[in-house]
Amino acid sequence: MSVHAHPDDESSKGAATLAKYAAEGVDVLVVTCTGGERGDVLNPAMDKPGVRENLAEIRRAEMAAAREILGVRQRFLGFTDSGLPAPGEALPDGCFALQPLEEAAGRLLQLIGEFRPHVIVTYDETGGYPHPDHIRTHEVTLAAFEAARARAGWQPMKLYYHAALSRDWFLAMHQAMTARGIDSGMADLLEELPQPAIETTTRVPCAEYFETRDRALLAHTTQIDPQAGFMRHPRGIEREVWPTEDYHLARSLVEVVTPEDDLFAGLREPVAEGVR
């Protein structure tokens, strides 16, 4: 179970991992807390009449397309996007970030009880990105993980936070592109990027699924500019220098040895039978 704030987050964070496990036969559920109703149109080609007015509906269709490409199941929790308020600006009434934690975690617990995930993935306490919905997604998921046995009748065994696209990733990509005479466009970003606060414990090899990840990302047509940002770096270089997506193991109820290369490490072996 991979818990995200908005449609498109599942494709920009850990998508190759989801596609890989789905292809291997794991039942993968993406949970999307909000509908992304207050998002911007980030692809200039999609900034045209009729798009902003119908953004909620368009993003549902984009999510459905991405879900098909990744080969996963997906459910909305049904909360409303909080938007990204300017400093000092209040959050809009009724938005996800203002929901009582208990109520929001209750909806996720309902899904945990139905789906019975062994592993849950979400963001760390910083949200990975300073959007109120991302931080709330972390809080809700952590609260649900901790209350799951008592309130959902099912205890997931491992909880992970995304650790992908770290400073080390940008540095490795920048150096490899520079060495090949390609302008990475990452130099300014590298100046600002701090070292991550969380340790990478787990690197999942998934380079074969980068192409699937890219198709899922591009299915979010209002959110991804095919000419800019993450779409710009050469995929051959990425597969060579960073063929994994990375995670931080935040909670584990099974014995593990880190570093790991599998989110299900410790759950596949017969020794895990007893904890089912």
Residues in the site for Zn ion, rule: CB under 5 A?
5-6, 9
Q: Give the C-alpha separation, 262 to 246, whole Å.
A: 10
Nearer to Zn ion, 157 or 217 (CB): 217
Contact at 8 Å (CB) between 157 and 116?
no
CB of 6 to Zn ion, least distance (A): 4
Nearer to Zn ion, 9 or 124 (CB): 9
Residue with smaller CB distance to Zn ion, 13 or 107:
13
Closer CB to Zn ion, 39 or 196, in the complex: 39
Minimum Å gap between C-beta 134 and Zn ion is 6
Cβ at position 153, least distance to Zn ion in Å:
30
Measured torsion, CA atoms of residues 35, 37, 39, 45, in degrees rounded to the nearest 10: 100
Q: Which residues pair with 29 in a beta bridge?
A: 73
Cβ distance to Zn ion smaller for residue 157 or 216 = 216
What is the sign of the dihedral through the CA atoms of 50, 53, 56 and 59? positive
- Residue 211 and residue 219: Cα distance in Å, rounded? 12
| Residues 105, 235: Cα–Cα separation, whole Å | 38
Instruction: State how far the Cα of 79 lies from the Cα of 231, in Å rounded to an integer.
Output: 29
Measured from the CB of residue 35, what is the shortest distance to Zn ion in angstroms? 11
In the complex, what is the shortest distance from the CB of residue 46 to Zn ion, in angstroms, rounded to a whole number?
17
CB of 74 to Zn ion, least distance (A): 15
- Compare residues 34 and 184 and give the one whose CB is closer to Zn ion: 34
Count CB neighbours of 181 within 10 A: 6
Which residue's CB comes closest to Zn ion?
6
Nearer to Zn ion, 6 or 59 (CB): 6
Q: How far is the CB of 4 from Zn ion (least distance, A)?
A: 7
* Amino acid letter, residue 4: H
Nearer to Zn ion, 5 or 112 (CB): 5
Task: Write down the least CB distance from residue 42 to Zn ion, Å.
Answer: 11
